[in-house]
Amino acid sequence: MTGQRPTLILVHEPERACRDRLLADGFSQKAATEISSYLAQSTDLAPEFGALADACARRGLDFRAVELDDAAVAMAACDRKTTLVWTLTDGIAYFRGGAAPALARLNGLATIGADDSLFALCQDKFRAGAVLAALGLPVPLAGLARGGRWLVEPPASSSGYFVKPNRLGAKIGIWKDSRCSVANEALVLGRRVFDAYRDDVIVQPYVAGRNVRASFLAVDIDAGPQALGIVFVDSGGDFQTMADSMALYGETGSAARAEGRYAEPELVAVGSLQPRAAEKIRQIAARLTTGLGLRDVFSLDFRVEADDTVYLIEFEVCPGLPCFDFRDYCRTEWRLGLADAMAETAARRLLR
CA gap 129, 122 in Å, rounded: 9
What's phi and psi for 297, nearest 5 deg? -150, 130
* pLDDT value at residue 266: 85
What one-character DSSP code corresponds to residue 37?
G
Helix (H, G, I), strand (E, B) or coil at 38: helix
Compute the average pLDDT of residues 241-251: 73
2 burial via Cβ count (<10 Å: 0-12, 13-18, 19+): exposed
Distance CA 56, CA 50 (A): 10
Other beta carbons within 10 Å of 156: 8
The three-state secondary structure class of 208 is coil
pLDDT at residue 126 is higher than 70: yes
- pLDDT at residue 1 greater than cutoff 50: no
Q: Which of 13-27, 167-181, 273-287 has the lowest mean pLDDT?
A: 167-181
Could you give the CA distance from residue 166 to residue 124 in angstroms, rounded to a whole number? 6
pLDDT band at 54 (very low <50, low <70, confident <90, very high): very high
Mean pLDDT score, 66-95: 95
Mean pLDDT of 269-278: 97
Contacts for 293 with CB less than 8 Å, ≥ 6 apart = 114, 115, 117, 118
Contact 27, 173 (CB under 8 A): no
Cα→Cα distances 15→25, 32, 127, 162, 166, Å: 15, 10, 26, 28, 20
**Beta strand pairing call for 7-12 and 161-165:** unpaired
pLDDT band at 244 (very low <50, low <70, confident <90, very high): confident
Cα separation of 232 and 100, whole Å?
A: 32
- Average pLDDT, whole number, for the chain? 92
